Structure formats: structure tokens, C-alpha cells
Amino acid sequence: MIKFLLLLLAVAAIGTAIYVVGRLIYDIVAMFRNRAATSEGDKAVLWRDVKAIGIAAQIVALAAIVGVGNFLWGNFRDRTDAIGLELGFDFLDQPGGITIADNPLIAGDSVGKAIVEGFFNTIRIIMVGIPAALILGTLIGIARFSSNWIVRKLATGYVEFFRNIPPLVVIVFVWSAVFLNAFPTSQEAWKPLGEWFILSNNRFAIPSLMGQDNFGPFRWILLGALILAAAVAFWRTKVFDNTGAPHHRVLWGLGTFFGIGLIAYLVLGGPVSMSKPMLDDRGRVFSDGFRIQMPFAAITVALIIYTATHISEIVRGSIMAVHKGQEEAANALALSTFQRYRFVVLPQAMRVAFPPLISQFLNFSKNSSLAIAIGAAETTNIINNLFGQSQPAPQLILILALLYLTLSLVLSAIGNLINRRLQIVGR
Amino acid sequence: MAERAATYLGDDITAALAVDSTPPSSKLSPGDWAKTNLFSSAANTIVTAIVAVAAGLLAFFALRWIINADFAIIRANLRIFMIGQFPREELWRPWASGYVMILGAGLTAGAMARNSHELALSQELESVKEGWGQLLRRFWPIIAASIFFVSFARTVMPYIGLAAAYVLVVVAREVGWRLPAAIRERALFIGVALFIVAMLVIAGTSRLGGYALGLVAFLWALSELSRVESLPTGFAGTAVRFVVALVVAAIVAIVQNLIPHDGFGWEDWGGLHISLFTTVIGITLGMPFGILLALGRKSNLPVLKTASVIFIEFIRGVPLISLLLFSNLMLPLFLPIDFERPADLTLAIIVVTGFSAAYIAEIVRGGLQAVPKGQTEAAQASGMSAAAVQRFIVLPQALRAVIPAMVGQFIALFKDTSLLSIIGLLEFLRVSDTSNAQQEFVGKGLASVTYLFVAIGYWAFAYTMSKESRRLEAKLGVGHR
């Protein structure tokens, strides 16, 4: 995956260079053709021709970029040669010596695999954190319009406090003051429901599902059921649009999914079973179940707290941008507060809010790199550990930047796609 | 109300207008206030009760924790929190530098407030001098935080120093307000020059300081010469202006270099001081680059456009932490091989400047888009050159529109300086970790105390700035176009 991205980057760089140089040559040719076609009286002298000045400026700029780049690259090669640094990417296949707690990665696995595992952890943080921050931020944004004074003031206080301190401070505070100090140690883990819920300052564990015989086909059947459920929900929406009959699309969809799932489960003879967290003799969780390392929980919670304040400000602004008549009309129809927000205000507000929300989602994904400060094993942290293993820094920094660039591009592409669906389609 | 409604229903409009139309007083009795704001319905009463109990519990535990917490760690490390490992015998430097900076800020603020006051009066708008009460409301978080910080001091000196600072700011603002108009017009140069002098006081004189002062002198001389009307117009006049300004700059730089170079340098600065310093430098140096990048991105020359877009999007697409790792591990590799490795802070400032330039470029681009196209076309129609159109018509309008967003970027960068701790610079947040590693405090679980202290410090500055940003937005009417 990393090598593929590197290849993509190389292709993009070469493509850009060809485009720029080609475009420049094309412009020069076009300019001289144009000048040749213009009669002598209308023609400006060459050094007063706007096109010529532009082309000259670009040639100077290109020469400066190439010159400075060449100078820096020369220095770079001198220095890397002096300290004997290899500039290839073969080190990605060497054993990395990195292990991550609660992750099947072993010390003998390659550097590339360790980085990819770290990247998956980054994605996990983002996939939990962004929806949660969106929900919390929207609720707080609405709470600032509450008719209840105390709710309003508390929401304002929360936003104005957390918005104005650095996310890194929120993260280290949540980690070392709350998670590390206020939670019990792993020997005295908090187990209110026995093995069903185990919380300590080291791990959080709940039971999970584990695949048995026939798990492979079962997985594919579930995927099919999901697609079918989506199709059923879509059909119900169509029926509703055409006839106005109640659609109940969520019920229909869930019914389809769980119906097929139940039949498949019975037919395949129990392809999944419950896996409870296992405790060692000192009462510590060590295997099975669904386990989360506490640093991951801390970074996710801290970033949710921080990002929700920014999201709430965006939501608040967008609600204020919804025409007041809409709210009054909803009140006149005797809609409840929930109905008013759910069906009238929020759909219109979200249309305004979504573009700035995308940039908050991007900020969230970039801020997840701050997990380096509390030792959650995500991309930045893994790469920082690899520096310590005397792996080559220049390539690793390039890979680090490349991974986050990819993430940013993909996230903003998804965001723009959703945004296009949210906007009103003009006739 | 009833009689007003009755009048409206009648035909006599003059009678309706004659009725006193002041809105009913919004003052409610405490009982009525509570009824409308807390207990307006059954559901609301329940919510009030639950939230009040939760908030009360939270406040109780927080208060109990604060009362029981051991603040000795902050008392012992207050100096490091503020300015890092500054040698004790050189402590006069930060104080003196702070006073020079406060003097500059007070003079500039007073003079500029007077300038806009006079401008408003000349346009027959209403304007009154801002009272101290208003200033107190605008800057209360910083004032409260400074008193909070000083309250941890173990000697009486910081108390006297802070009181003197407040006296100085009051006096400087009054003096700035009363300066003659000719000096007030140059207030910005005075402020910048005093800022650099303050830096020279704390870091000691150096060649870099000479260059910085020379640059200010150059710009100042240029702006002075542009007022001289007897100079010839056209190329000759421009050349004369540049040569004279360069001579002035050279004289200033040489005079500064005649003072023996001594002092502490900036390699080992720390504490809140470098957080603020890095932010100010990052924004100031990032501004010209950012404006150039924004113009490059708007230009229709493909080389400039592509280069600007790649730089901006690359910087904005990666986290600052990866750029700081780059500054620490890779940037020195790009220097010629016989160069010494610069200080970590220097490397970090280079990267922070590039980082803020990319973000400022996007802000300025927004401002450029907000300038109506007719402005450019009118300027071109009156025969201005491309550079003059940008310099005199587009940029002044664009930059005015983005001032609040720029303050927002200042806040964001100030918060981002906390990341310098990760590459090992002893900035505000990292002092918290180092002080918890000291022998007398290690293992006592005092991290939450120091983190809270640090959070309050960051909050005071960022909150004041965000209030200022909102005030500027309302004042400039940016959001209402």
C-alpha cells in the first residue's frame, strides 16, 4: 500500500512537471504565432507585451525553483552521503521490531506492515471520533438556543473554554489527569457486570463475536443481506414518494437484514460465538473479547471534546442563518421542539454548515497525530518509534506526509460528495 | 399594549405613531425571570433540576480538588513557566524587554485609537474615546491571568513589576493619544521598531537584530520619501527613493552592529515566552509569503499557480506535527555541508512560518474573492499597471476584509505552538512535564495541577483574541456584506 502511494506520488509529480513545462512551451509558441499574425501597427514591442512579460516571469520563477531545488538537493545528497544514509525504500521490507499492544503485529513484521497497522489505528480513531463529535457538537449547538437559562449558559461555558485551549492540552489532561489517575489499575479493574464490562486505566474490554466453522460463507451472506436491506429501504422510499403510503424504511431494512442473518445463522449451525475477555490470575485482561487500549480511548474522547466545540459554533451559526419564518411556521403547525429541529431547522442548517464541517473533519484527522504525546500507536507514533530504531528519517517523513495527504484527500472527497447530495438541486 | 393595538386597528396612523413606541421594559422580577428561563414547562423544570444537580456536583468536586491541590509545584517553577531556563543574573532582560514592548503597544494603541477617532469626527460620525472600563471588559482574561500568574510568585518583586507594567500601559496609551498628528501617523513604525528593540533587549544585540532594524528603517524611509512631492516622478524618482532608503537602512544596521554583541541569544528560550514569540514571528513573517502565495494562486500564469497550489495544499493536508518532525530531523540536511546545525527554535520557526503562510494564503484568497470584479476593471480602465492594481486597489480592500480571520489564524497558531513540546522545545506546555519530573515532585501525580495552570494560561490569551476578533468583525461590518 505504501509503495503504491509512493508510485502515485511519483506519477503525479512527473505529470505536473510535464504539464507545467508543456503549457509554458505552448504559451510561448502561441504568443509568437499571435505576434506574427498581428499587423505591425497594432503590435506592442516585445518587452511591453503583457503575454511576453508573463512568460518571462514564469521562466524566471521556474528557473528559481529548479535552481533552489537543485542546490538543496545537492546539499541533501552531500549530507546523507556523509552520514551513510541509504535513500531507497527497501527498508520497508525489513523487520521493524515494532509491536502494538492488543494487535497481532509481531516484532518480526516488516516496517511497512507496522506503518500500515498504525495507519489503520488512525482510521479507527477517525471513524469513531468524527461521528461522535458531529453528534455532540450538533447537540451543544442546539443547546445554545435552549429556552432554559442554565442549559444555555453551560453550553456557552463549555464551548468558550475548550475552544480556546490547545487540543494537545486537552489530550494530555484527559489522559494523565482523568484516564490514568481516576481509573483503577488493571489489577483492580472496575467490573460492574463481571466479564461483560471491564474498565481499567490500561484497557477497556467487552465481549465480542468470534468466528467459528462456516464463518467465511456467513460473512458473505451478511454482506449480501446488507446490500439487499439497502435495496429494500430504497424501494420503500420509492413507494412512499409515489403513493404517499408510510415507508417504514428503517423497519423494513433492519427486518430484511436480521431475518436473513438469523436464517443463515441457524442453517450454518452457529458460525459465530461469544468471546469473553480472558483474565489472568492477577485479574488483568490479556486476551479475547473486544479490547481497547486506554490511550486510544483518551485521544478519541479528548478530540471529540475539542472538535465538538468547533462543530457547535458552526451549527449555531447555520441555525441562525435559517430564516426565522421557518421556525415560526413550524411553531404555527404545533410541531414539538424535537420535530421542529429534526424536520425543519436542521435539514436547512446542515446545508449551510456542511462545507465548514468538512474542514473540521480534516482538522480532526490531522489532530489525531497528537496521539504521539500519550503513546497511542497510530501512524505518527509508529513512525516516531521507527526513528528511534535508526530507520531512515527522510523516507519515513515523506511516507508520514503522504499518508496524511491521502487521508485528507479521501476525507474531503467523501465530504464533497455528501455536500453535493445535501445541496438543493436547481432546475 | 392593548391601547396600542386598538390604535393600530383604527385608521388614524398619526395617532398610532404618536403613541410612545419604546418597547416594554425587559427588566423582570427575579421570580418572573426564573419562571421564563428555568421553569417554563414541566419538562424544562426537570431539565433544570437534573442539569443544576450535575453542574453543582461537578463544581463541588472541582472546587474541592482545587482547594486540596498542592500548588507548590507551580510556585517552584513559575519562572520556568514564564520564560524558561533564563539565567538568574540576566533576569533584568525579560523585564526590560517586556516594558519596552508594553510601551510600544500602549503608544501605538493610543495613537491609532486617536487616529480613527479623528477620522470618524472628520466624517461627522459619532465617536467617543474608549474608556478604561471598556478596555477592562475587552482584556479582562489577560489581566486576570497575569494577576493569577503573579499570585504564585514567592517574592514581592513580580507584584511590583506587574503593577509597574499596568501603570506603564496606562501612561503610554494616554501619551499616544496626545501625540501630535505628524507622529501619530507613523504609529505603526514606532510600534514595530520598539518591538524589535524589545527583542534586542532580551536576546542581546546581534547581526540578525541589525538586519531587522534595518528593514524597518528601510520601509519607514520609503514611506517618508513617498510623501516628499519635490522628487521627480517615474523611474528616476523611484530609484532615488530606494537608494536613500537603503542608505538609511544601512546606517541603522551599522549603528546597531557597533554596539558590542552580547546577550543570551534565543537558543535556550522557553516557557510562555516562546509560545507567544513563535506565534508573533510566524504570523508576521508568514503574512508577506501568504499574500504572495494567494496572489500566485489567483494568477493565470500556470507556473506560479501550480507552484502556489502545490505548496498550499501540501502544507494544509499534513498535520503540523509532521512538519515539525521535518524541521527537526530533515531541515538541517538541506543546509550546505559546512554549516553548523541551527538552534531547534530557529528550525521550528522556519517551518512555522511556512505553515502559517499557507493558511494565511487561503484566508487572503477569500478576501481577494470578496473584492468585486468591477474594482479591478475600473483600475485597469484608468490605466494602472498590474502591480499598482493589486497594491493600491485590490489588496487594501481584501486585507481589510480578512482582519478578523487573521486574528483567528493567530489564535490557531498560538494553540499550535503547544506542539513544539513534542520536538523537545521547552515551551509552556512542556514545562509542565519537566517540572513533574523534578526530584521533589516526581511521582506525586501533580500533572493535573500543572496542566490546569497551563490550560488557563493558553485560554486567557486565546479567549481575549477571539473576543477581539468578534469585535473587529462587528466593527468592520465584514460579516454583513
Would you state the pLDDT for residue A18? 94
The reported pLDDT for the residue numbered B441 is 85
Name which of A206-210, A405-409, B395-399 the model is least confident about: A206-210
Residues A236-251 have a mean pLDDT of 83
Mean pLDDT, residues B444-457 taken together: 88
Q: 3-class SS at A293? A: strand
> Tell me, what's the pLDDT at B413?
94
Own/partner long-range contacts of A233-240 (Cβ < 8 Å, ≥24 apart): none
pLDDT number for residue B19: 59
CA dist., res. A413 & res. B348, Å (int): 31
Whether ipTM tops 0.85, in short, is yes
Instruction: Please enumerate in sequence order all residues whose Cβ is within 8 A of that of B256, keeping only pairs 6 or more positions apart, or say none.
Output: B200, B205, B209, B210, B213, B214
In total, the C-beta contacts within 8 angstroms joining chain A to chain B are 165
Average pLDDT over residues A231-237: 88
For B457, which residue in chain A has the nearest alpha carbon?
A: A165
Three-state DSSP class for residue A199: strand
Q: Once rounded to an integer, what is the mean pLDDT over residues A214-242?
A: 86
The shortest C-alpha distance from A72 to chain B (Å) reads 5
A172: nearest CA partner in chain B: B451
- Cross-chain residue pair A372–B301, CB shorter than 8 Å: no
Q: What angle do CA A10, A11, A16 make, to 5 degrees?
A: 100
Q: Do B415 and A167 touch (CB under 8 A)?
A: yes
Higher per-residue confidence, B421 vs A284: B421
Kindly report the CA angle at A274 between A270 and A275, in degrees rounded to 5? 135
For chain B, give the percent of residues with pLDDT over 90: 30
Class of domain A111-207+276-422: mainly alpha
Contact in structure between B315 and A404 (CB atoms under 8 Å): no
In this prediction, residue B396 carries a pLDDT of 87
Q: Report chain A's mean pLDDT, rounded to a whole number.
A: 87
pLDDT band at B8 (very low <50, low <70, confident <90, very high): low
Determine phi and psi for A247, rounding to 5 degrees.
-90, -40
- The per-residue pLDDT for B226 is 79
Q: What is the pLDDT of residue A406?
A: 93
What is the domain partition of chain B in residue ranges? 2-68, 269-481
**Quick one: average pLDDT of B409-436?**
90
Percentage, residues of chain B above pLDDT 70: 93
Q: Which fold has domain B269-481?
A: MetI-like fold (1.10.3720)
Instruction: Tell which of A168, A337, A366 to mutate to test the B interface (max B CBs under 10 Å).
Output: A168
pLDDT at A128 over 90: yes
Residue-level pLDDT at A275: 75
Contacts of B458 in chain A (CB under 8 A): 164-166, 169
Determine, for residues A82 and B48 on separate chains, whether the beta-carbon distance falls below 8 Å: no
Place of cell 542581546: B204
Average pLDDT over all residues of chain B: 85
Helix (H) or strand (E) holding A384: helix A379-388
| Strand A198-199 relative to strand A203-206, pairing | antiparallel
Instruction: Identify which has the larger pLDDT, A217 or A382.
Output: A382
pLDDT at residue A214 is higher than 80: no
pLDDT for A91 beyond 60: yes
So what's the pLDDT on residue A273? 76
Model confidence at B481, in pLDDT bands (50, 70, 90)? very low
Supply the pLDDT for residue B1: 45
- pLDDT score, position A110: 85
Looking at CA atoms only, how far is residue A296 from chain B in angstroms? 18
Helical H runs in B259-394? 271-298, 302-317, 320-329, 344-370, 373-381, 386-388
CB-based contact A169:B462 (threshold 8 Å): no
Shortest Cα–Cα distance, A148 to chain B (Å): 5
List, for residues B321-376, the tens digit of each pLDDT value. Answer: 999 999 998 898 898 888 888 888 889 999 999 999 999 999 999 898 888 889 99
- Is the predicted pLDDT of residue A427 greater than 60, yes or no? no
Task: Assess contact for B426 and B83: CB atoms under 8 A.
Answer: no
**pLDDT grade for A318, boundaries at 50, 70 and 90:** very high
Cβ contact (<8 Å) for A147 and B37?
A: yes
| pLDDT tens-digit map of B85-132 | 888 788 888 889 899 999 999 999 999 889 888 888 888 888 788 888
Q: Is the pLDDT of residue A314 over 90?
A: yes
B79, pLDDT greater than 60? yes
User: How far apart are the C-alpha atoms of A119 and A381, rounded to whole Å?
Assistant: 10
pLDDT digits (tens, 9 = 90+) for B60-77: 988 888 888 888 888 888
pLDDT at position A60 over 90: yes
Q: Do A75 and B466 touch (CB under 8 A)?
A: no
SS3 content of chain A, % helix, strand, coil (to 5): 70, 5, 20
Q: Which residues of B touch A171 (CB under 8 A)?
A: none
Determine what percent of chain A is predicted with pLDDT higher than 90: 37
Q: Is the pLDDT of residue A141 over 90?
A: yes
List chain B residues with CB under 8 Å of A387: 325, 329
- The pLDDT of residue B32 is 80
Residue A156's pLDDT band (cuts 50, 70, 90)? very high
pLDDT value of position A123: 93
Q: Is the pLDDT of residue B11 over 70?
A: no
Residue B68 has a pLDDT of 81
SS3 A288: coil
A148–B37 C-beta distance less than 8 A:
yes
Residue ranges of the alpha helices (H) in B123-206?
A: 132-150, 157-178, 181-184, 187-203
Using one digit for the tens of pLDDT, what is the confidence trace for B222-277? 888 877 777 777 777 788 888 888 898 888 888 877 877 777 777 778 889 889 99
